[in-house]
Structure 1
Amino acid sequence: MKKYIFLLLTVFMFNIKAESQSLKLMTYNIRYDNPNDVENQWSQRKEFLSNQIGFYEVDIFGIQEGLHHQVAYLDSVFVNYNYIGVGRDDGKTKGEYSTIFYNSKKFKVIESSTFWLSETPNKISVGWDASMERICTYGLFQHNVTKQQFYVFNTHFDHIGTEARLKSAELILEKIEELNQKKLPVILTGDFNLIPETEPIQTISKILNDSEKISKVTPFGPKGTFNGFKFNQPVTDRIDYIFTSKNNISVKKYAVLSDSKNCKFPSDHLPVFVEVLIKK
């Protein structure tokens, strides 16, 4: 009888696993390499930052503000990962990236591209009232074993242009609808330079879930994500997000990670970490 029950439980658990795919993700504004940051320069924090990402064993992580040499450094550290993305200034290697790193032992990229947050998204351009070029990089990923497919979009909104932030939100939602004809699971990560109550975030939240709001486990860590390298002050401004499609992704855990070393943060933003379940 015990053997029979064990077999039933085994079959039950197998069916649950077959119907869903667990995924760990992170979004992280790593702060561009600015020589004026003095003790917070990239050279002083890159090792701890990469160790932090590695410790959480994420499957996929999106970064913002990475310059080419910063992306190259992370690429050299994470040997089992590949990345997609280009520099926003020339569509190649110049300017900040919105890179998506992924564990290549688990996933492969079916298609990927980068578009500009502007009226002409297929051209290198500054949109609306933005202060500079802004981009969104996306990839269609497939799990090597289960063959489950899903989209990941990673972006960095302008910090000045009010119209640009709203139009950028609308553009990304339009792109998701245009690309995702099969209604596959979608994850949107990034630094949106906006608090939750603002119109662009509310616009996105009508179509996608804010992962913090639907986490099955109580969200862990500070409420805010922007620390400005100010270690001794509360982190209250929440401007970094991970959004998920509403009908086929559930969020198991959500956390804002405030790890530090010698009373210093590894970036002026805290990374957001989630563990999600993608439903088949």
Structure 2
Amino acid sequence: MSYNIRLDVASDGPNAWPERRDFLASQVRYHAPVVVGIQEGLPQQVAWLNEHLKDYSYVGEGRDGGDRGEYSALFYQRQRLVPVRSGTFWLSPTPEVPSKGWDAALNRICTWAEFKDRVGGHRFMVFNTHFDHVGEVARQESAELLLAAIDSLNPKDLAFVLMGDLNLEPHSAPIQHLNERLTDAFTAAPLRLGPTGTFTGFDYTRPASRRIDYIFIGNLPKTAVRAFATLSDAVDGRYPSDHFPVSATLHLRPRPKRP
């Protein structure tokens, strides 16, 4: 699951974090994803989720370094998965240090982890990111950087998932570039539930118009995608975030061993 949880800002009024966090946590617990990558989580939001999603632990750091700034944290079911290694890099020409890249308005990050499945014993990787909302060059360069980073961090060619709020629609050049290497779970899924758009701005009166949240898979056949859902749950005309979470059911087969 990829979920932009909307940062904690008092000016959201009735949609502010304290008014919607219980609903959001219940939604995650109900759907019970093995891994959920969040975006826009401020330190206090990550701490609250860590306390209330009791079956989960997380990896990640803030985009300003350490516990400062928004997280793109990966929450995972700790009874199912073991994190083998993890890290965070910045979407910039200096990815190893907190930094802003190209024409981006803000620091942007990708948090990643290699997991071992306690059930089958196989390993896979997950990359979770949030592209800049302003910089066109930054979004293009971020796509290039991500693909290069995946190659570098995944020398064993493990199956992997790339997900996040990319602030781009499917026809855009960076998404098309990612599609050359990866499989968009939305388009590959034989079973799909929910609307196409993922951004609502908390407006319950109008349909979500833009698909900007994604789950991609790599080193896997398209048939690994069993189902995809855009979760439009609401209570009394209010959403738990200004984005719909997107969820994919995947069969992460281990790659055949090379002879």
* TM-score above 0.5, yes or no: yes
Q: What is the aligned counterpart of 2:11 among 36, 41, 52?
A: 36
Q: Which runs of 5+ in 2 are unaligned?
A: 255-259
Q: Which runs of 5+ in 1 are unaligned?
A: 1-25
User: Is the Cα contact below 8 Å between 1:248 and 1:279 reproduced in 2?
Assistant: no
- TM-score normalized by the length of structure 2: 0.96
Tell me if 1:149 matches 2:123.
yes
One-letter code aligned to 1:221: G
Q: What is the aligned counterpart of 1:273 among 247, 255, 259?
A: 247
Tell me if 1:104 matches 2:78.
yes
Instruction: Give the structure 2 partner of residue 211 of structure 1.
Output: 185
Tell me if 1:196 matches 2:170.
yes
Instruction: Give the structure 2 partner of residue 241 of structure 1.
Output: 214
Instruction: Give the structure 1 partner of residue 22 of structure 2.
Output: 47
User: Is the Cα contact below 8 Å between 1:88 and 1:124 reproduced in 2?
Assistant: yes
One-letter code aligned to 2:203: K
Tell me if 1:94 matches 2:56.
no
- TM-score normalized by the length of structure 1: 0.89
Runs of 4+ in 1 over 4 A off after TM superposition: none
User: Is the Cα contact below 8 Å between 2:127 and 2:161 reproduced in 1?
Assistant: yes
CA-CA distance at 1:145 after TM superposition: 2.9
Q: What is the aligned counterpart of 2:38 among 60, 63, 71?
A: 63
CA distance in 1 between partners of 2:180 and 2:247 (Å): 22
User: Is the Cα contact below 8 Å between 1:129 and 1:162 reproduced in 2?
Assistant: yes
CA-CA distance at 1:113 after TM superposition: 0.4
CA-CA distance at 1:270 after TM superposition: 0.3
Instruction: Give the structure 2 partner of residue 12 of structure 1.
Output: none
One-letter code aligned to 1:224: G
Tell me if 1:72 matches 2:47.
yes
User: Is the Cα contact below 8 Å between 2:38 and 2:72 reproduced in 1?
Assistant: yes
Instruction: Give the structure 2 partner of residue 229 of structure 1.
Output: 202
CA distance in 1 between partners of 2:67 and 2:161 (Å): 25
Cα-Cα RMSD: 0.9
CA-CA distance at 1:230 after TM superposition: 0.4
Q: How many residue pairs align between the two structures? A: 253
Q: Which moved more, 1:243-252 or 1:35-44?
A: 243-252
